[in-house]
Structure 1
Amino acid sequence: MSNFDNNPVVQGIDLIALAAQFGTPLYVYDGSVIRRQVQTLRDVFSGTDLRIKFACKANTNLAILRLMRELGVGLDVVSLQEFKLAEMAGFTAGEVTYTPSGADFAEIAEAIEAGLTLNADSIPLLRWFGERFGSSKPCMIRLKPNVAAGGNAKIMTAHAESKFGISVLLMDEILEVVRQYDIKITGLHQHTGSDIKDAEPFLQVAEVVFNAAANFPDLEVIDLGGGFKVSYRPDDAVTDMQLLGRKISDRFNEFCQSYGRKLNLWVEPGKFLVSECGTLLVKTTVVKEDPAKTFAHVDSGLNHLIRPMMYGSYHHILNLSNPAGDLKLYNVVGYICETDNFAEDRMLNEIRPGDVLAFKNAGAYGFSMSSNYNSRFRPAEVLIDGGVARLVRRRETLEDLVATQTGF
């Protein structure tokens, strides 16, 4: 069954029934999709010593993290708090990599003392690491390969003007700091961006990293990040994973031969592993006929799924309650007191008040980027795995909104 079929059943569980049981808005995750995506990566990179590190900023629900651990997937975290969640899910520090971006050095020190391996993303951080730890702790370096690739400018992370990583043009300065403090560099890392459908940008940045690797004799890991494109629309172009896996694997094995020993190849997918597993269920509250547009208002907004307003992202929308209704043109809008569009000029089966709509590809950067704007509650989350639906996060209450306030 396609991810875009207007079918309300996931692993035998009726989504409309789930919406009635747990209320809307409701995030629903399909564990079988995560299992499929993990296996895809293992299959296409089978010729290498592959380690998958889930970029867990995409979805930090503990049930999702525990599923990743069950599948033998490690984590990449970007904050100390994400690591604490990882520990709650059963991960050890050795299964987790730490890739902060401009974080306070006090946080970074605490993370390193807890056993995390740092991906240093600036010369000042690398120098601080050397002064503080010297050769007593391993360190990785996040390089900026100066390659522009990705779905749009907001999710490109490897181009020359990006804040992420240390430019490869600063290699002499990197090496000076490494030698001065005798830092043991055990890995090189880069992350190009998101939604890259062609193999060429991955190969291009891989060459940059391989060339840089000649400067570091103690490497154990080459981490090529993530960014593999998933399908957002029917017939959408996606990354040819078979082609990508074959080309990267062949080139990586050639590099290992020239380097003199085999290294581990790491990939760091976030969206690729969880985007397609997630569906946000919402209820239509008002259908407003206007001379300019027909607006379908729903009981959610950018406080629950900010990606359309932040990135201009497309989320396929299905009317689960009226799958055979006549097609009509709608703007699907949220209940936040801001311009709050989920979709503009979208042809959908006729929407009526009370209809349950499904927003697809909501498993990545949905709940994890949600907020309490307009003092709205964040939604509940349900994981369906093995044909069983479990509530893995309850809906928030007013008590949750005021729990940290002290002014009354």
Structure 2
Amino acid sequence: MMNELENINETVHREHLIKLAKKYGTPLYIYDFFKIKKQYMKMKNAFSGIKNLIINYACKANTNLNILKFLQKLGSGLDTVSIQEVELGLKAGFKPKKIIFTPNCVSIQEIKKAVGFGVRITLDNLSILEQFGENYSDYSVGIRINPHIMAGGNLKISVGHIDSKFGISYYQIPHMKRILKNTGLKIEGFHMHTGSDISNIKTFLEVSKVLFQTAIDFKNLDYIDFGSGFKVPYTKNDIKTDLTSLSNYITEKFKKFCKNYGNKMTLIFEPGKFLVSESGYFLVHVNVIKHTTSTVFAGVDSGFNHFLRPMFYDAYHCIENISNPNGRFRFYTVVGYICESDTFGLNRKIKEIREGDILCIKNAGAYCFSMSSNYNSRYRPAEVMILNGKDFLIRKRETMQDIIRNIVEINM
């Protein structure tokens, strides 16, 4: 079993987290903005050999407006997948052309709204491509290609295989060319994204070959978009994407492609988890310690309604008892208060947990609050950011008014 006790991020200490739990209550999401900046600069520096580089934050990972505004000020662009995310991006201060809208299985009406906002658009199916070309032949778009490459931490986050709903199959490129010719629609770039938590850089190398082979046949392209999928560490010794090796290879191949293509192009990445996952901490209060014939449960004041990844993806998140750092290690299964199977961590080695203790669940910055719900009519938690050593409430805890706000009562 893995030792759950690890060092808290260098700018967020155990005592600080406990103070925030007392100040704002639990359950509570906390984001260290220094870590977000550090990750952004790490990626920017890794690809510093490419003059025309764009890093677009994949905001589905966490759409809190303050995170968007912070990344916008750092110079990031924005990757969006819904018209609502587009509107949030505009509200955060992103210029329309710094936003790429890459939806999947949406109606042409939603894409028309994106045209109205003036953002960049990436299309990923032939039907919509044809409809778009008939209506907006003068509005250049990007094309998402499905390379038929299996990648990602598990099947649920693998999106580039042959049976995926994402992208236009590279076998359908002749059909795509016919649509472009018939409608007069111009394309400005090609995009691929094969999955999340990709640790083997060979996957990115395979993707680069398909992308470059596809793009070389099209004139006047502006960019190549590699998406993202970089794996971040979830434990102290966990594997992660070797960004240095990847950047060396991609930089060399991209420059060679641009030379053969005869035009300088822009290289785009769309990291989400890489930028914000490690910045996040989720604090929960231990309601009860419950013994069964074979298990010791630590039941907390949250559940998969707030933190879905362990149940949905079988994701592993380190759990630390920050209230009892000097206690002896014992084994616990940490569970939530939702009336379903609701497990944060199974048979974990954690410093002795007592009722009333505060547990810290790490890597809580990406796909955690953004996937939360009101299941069991529970309130969504508050969110706090730490910036320059100061804490700021960036989302209030919900109340019963939020639960019933949109309900229309009928007299019976």
- TM bracket, shorter-chain basis: over 0.9
Asked if 1:83 corresponds to 2:86, the answer is: yes
Partner of 1:307: 309
Q: Distance in 2 between matches of 1:400 and 1:300?
A: 18
Partner of 1:221: 223
Moved over 6 A (4+): none
Structure 1 residues 13, 99: CA separation in 2 closer, same or farther (over 3 Å shift)? Answer: farther
Q: Distance in 2 between matches of 1:267 and 1:32?
A: 21
Match of 1:116, as an amino acid? V
SS in 2 for 1:130: helix
Shift of 1:7: 8.1
SS in 1 for 2:214: helix
Shift of 1:115: 0.4
Residue of structure 1 aligned with 2:287, choices 285, 288, 293: 285
Structure 1 residues 201, 51: CA separation in 2 closer, same or farther (over 3 Å shift)? Answer: same
Partner of 2:184: 182
Partner of 2:45: 43
Q: Distance in 2 between matches of 1:332 and 1:7?
A: 22
Structure 1 residues 264, 400: CA separation in 2 closer, same or farther (over 3 Å shift)? Answer: same
SS in 2 for 1:15: helix
Shift of 1:215: 2.3
Partner of 2:76: 73
Partner of 2:101: 98
Structure 1 residues 132, 7: CA separation in 2 closer, same or farther (over 3 Å shift)? Answer: closer
The answer on whether the counterparts of 1:3 and 1:276 sit within 8 Å (CA) in structure 2 is no
Structure 1 residues 334, 129: CA separation in 2 closer, same or farther (over 3 Å shift)? Answer: same
SS in 1 for 2:391: strand
Q: Distance in 2 between matches of 1:166 and 1:3?
A: 45
Partner of 1:238: 240
Partner of 1:52: 55
Q: Distance in 2 between matches of 1:327 and 1:280?
A: 21
SS in 2 for 1:110: helix
Q: Distance in 2 between matches of 1:264 and 1:101?
A: 24
Q: Distance in 1 between matches of 2:248 and 2:10?
A: 36
Q: How many residues align?
A: 406
Gaps of 5+ in 2: none
- 1:155-234 aligned at under 5 Å gives the runs 155-234=157-236
Partner of 2:322: 320
Q: Distance in 1 between matches of 2:182 and 2:32?
A: 50
Shift of 1:4: 3.0
Match of 2:145, as an amino acid? L
SS in 1 for 2:347: strand
SS in 2 for 1:54: strand
Shift of 1:407: 1.7
SS in 1 for 2:340: coil
Partner of 1:349: 351
SS in 1 for 2:68: helix
Partner of 1:5: 7
Q: State the Cα deviation string for residues 181-222 of structure 1 (Å, max 9, x = none).
A: 111100100101111112111011011010000221021010
SS in 1 for 2:55: strand
Q: State the Cα deviation string for residues 105-132 of structure 1 (Å, max 9, x = none).
A: 1111111121012110100011011111
Q: State the Cα deviation string for residues 146-180 of structure 1 (Å, max 9, x = none).
A: 11111111101111111100000101001010111
Partner of 2:363: 361
The answer on whether the counterparts of 2:304 and 2:342 sit within 8 Å (CA) in structure 1 is yes
Q: Distance in 2 between matches of 1:117 and 1:273?
A: 22
Q: State the Cα deviation string for residues 234-284 of structure 1 (Å, max 9, x = none).
A: 100111111111111111111111110110000000100000000100000
Choose 375-384 or 35-44, whichever is displaced more: 35-44
Q: State the Cα deviation string for residues 91-117 of structure 1 (Å, max 9, x = none).
A: 121110000000121111111121012
How well do the aligned residues superpose, as a CA RMSD in angstroms?
1.5
Structure 1 residues 63, 6: CA separation in 2 closer, same or farther (over 3 Å shift)? Answer: closer
SS in 1 for 2:22: helix
Match of 2:334, as an amino acid? V
SS in 2 for 1:10: coil
Q: Distance in 2 between matches of 1:369 and 1:41?
A: 25
Q: Distance in 1 between matches of 2:87 and 2:279?
A: 24
Q: Distance in 2 between matches of 1:139 and 1:65?
A: 24
